[in-house]
Amino acid sequence: MQKNEGWTVRTDKNYNNRNMKKVWVMMLATLMVSSTMMAGNVKKSTTLPIGGEIVKASHPMIQYVGRVSFAKNPDVASFNYPGTTIEASFQGSSLKMLCRPKTGYFMAQIDGCEPFKVGFNAERDSVVTLAAALPKGVHHAKVMYVIEGLFRKPEF
Query: What does the pLDDT look like over 55-113, one tens digit per residue?
Result: 899 999 999 999 999 999 999 999 889 999 999 999 999 999 988 888 889 999 999 99
Measured at the alpha carbon of residue 40, what is the angle toward residues 38 and 42, in degrees to the nearest 5?
75
Q: For the segment 119-140, what is each residue's pLDDT rounded down to a tens digit? A: 988 887 688 999 999 999 999 9
Say if residue 143 is exposed, middle or buried (CB neighbours under 10 Å; 0-12, 13-18, 19+): buried
Is residue 69 within 8 A of residue 78, CB to CB? The reply is: yes
Distances (CA, A) of 74 to 58, 78, 85, 133: 7, 10, 18, 32
Residue type, 14: N
Cα 73 from Cα 1, distance rounded (Å): 61
Higher pLDDT, 11 or 85: 85
Which helix (DSSP H) or strand (DSSP E) does residue 28 occupy? helix 13-40
Cα 144 from Cα 66, distance rounded (Å): 10
pLDDT the model gives residue 33: 35
